[in-house]
């Protein structure tokens, strides 16, 4: 009887351990993971991108994406990707992370996504 009780407890313990490892992560962690896992196959065009497309870029939230669109509406199309640093919330450090992921129409780039 003791042996049977021990086996049952062992099986229940292993089952609860397995279910704890496969439990869904918290929403915030899941959202962060989704944003970093989704890879961009082509650079995002700053002159045509929607708020949703800009929001998909790493380190760019909805507010910053909206400011990018507003900057474009107020100042016209981006001539160079470096102009992105004129938008509040995009500094040099953020820009360098985004550089391989963005483009402007007609721009000749010397970088491809994933390359430096």
- Burial 60-89, CB ≥16 within 10 A → b, else e: beeebbebbbebbeeeeebeebebbeebee
Strand-pair category, 44-45 with 102-103: parallel
Q: Is the pTM of this model over 0.75?
A: no
Number of CB atoms found within 10 A of residue 109's CB: 13
**First and final C-alpha spacing in the chain:** 67
- For domain 25-116, the CATH class is mainly alpha
Q: Which residue has the higher pLDDT, 30 or 95?
A: 95
Reported as a single tens digit per residue, the pLDDT across 71-94 is 999 999 999 999 999 999 999 999
């Amino acid at each position: 009887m003791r042996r049977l009780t021990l086996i049952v407890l062992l099986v229940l313990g292993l089952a609860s351990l397995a279910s704890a490892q496969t439990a869904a992560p918290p929403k915030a962690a899941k959202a962060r993971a989704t944003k970093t896992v989704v890879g961009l196959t082509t650079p995002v065009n700053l002159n045509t991108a929607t708020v949703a497309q800009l929001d998909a870029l790493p380190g760019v939230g909805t507010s910053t994406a909206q400011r990018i669109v507003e900057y474009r509406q107020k100042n016209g199309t981006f001539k160079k990707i470096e102009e992105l640093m004129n938008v509040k919330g995009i500094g040099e450090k953020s820009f360098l992370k985004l550089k391989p992921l963005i483009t402007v129409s007609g721009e000749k780039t010397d970088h491809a996504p994933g390359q430096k």
